[in-house]
Amino acid sequence: MPPIVRHDCDLEVGMPPFALDITVLRALFDAVNRLRVAGGDSAKERRMIQEALPKFDNFVQICVHPFIETMHSCAGRRSLFIGMSLRGVAHGIDWYCRVSEDWILITGISRWRVYDGRPLINPAQIKWQEAVRWMNAVRPYAWHWFEEHQKWTCADGAHGRKRDFAAFENDFNQ
């Protein structure tokens, strides 16, 4: 069961596009965790970091809080704080990160030498890939439905068969 996404939205700040989409939040979670794991000095340390990270589906709640950045290189720009809780709001935050409105990481990893400062994710691309995966998954069903519809339309006495026969006769009568 996916976590519940809730937001503390300040009316003056607003949310960037796709900020509350669960697929985009999962991709952001994976991108930040890749950076956290890459910060390990040895393969053993990276494996230990990976094993210690919680799985996205284990979270109960995701809190997205937009605000105007006052520090760092993004001062004056909108940013998002994303906090995830394994046991609900009352027990605190077990995973967090802060990103600018264009999905550049502000805080969330301890070793910055692994991060090049580019946007972590492209939400529009993630949503496009999700739509393409869905279309590929349902395509066999659509083709089956189309085949059944054509059989039904062109059956004996059906409207499609009469229309095709009239068009055929019209072609030879000219």
Global confidence as pTM: 0.74
pLDDT at residue number 5: 76
Q: Which domain holds residue 49?
A: 4-121
39 and 78 part of one domain: yes
Would you say residue 74 lies in a domain? Answer: yes
Residue 80 in any domain: the answer is: yes
DSSP bridge partners of 4: 61
pLDDT-flagged residues of the chain (< 50): 11
Specify the pLDDT at position 93: 85
Q: What is the pLDDT of residue 23?
A: 93
Residue 89 pLDDT: 59
Question: Does residue 26 lie within any of the structural domains?
Answer: yes
Q: Rounded to whole angstroms, how far apart are CA atoms 126 and 50?
A: 23
> Per the structure, how many domains does the chain have?
2
pLDDT at 91: 64
Residues 116 and 139 in one domain: no
169 and 97 co-located in one domain = no
- Residue 126 domain flag: no
> Looking at residue 28, what is its pLDDT?
95
Count other C-beta atoms under 10 Å from residue 31's C-beta.
18
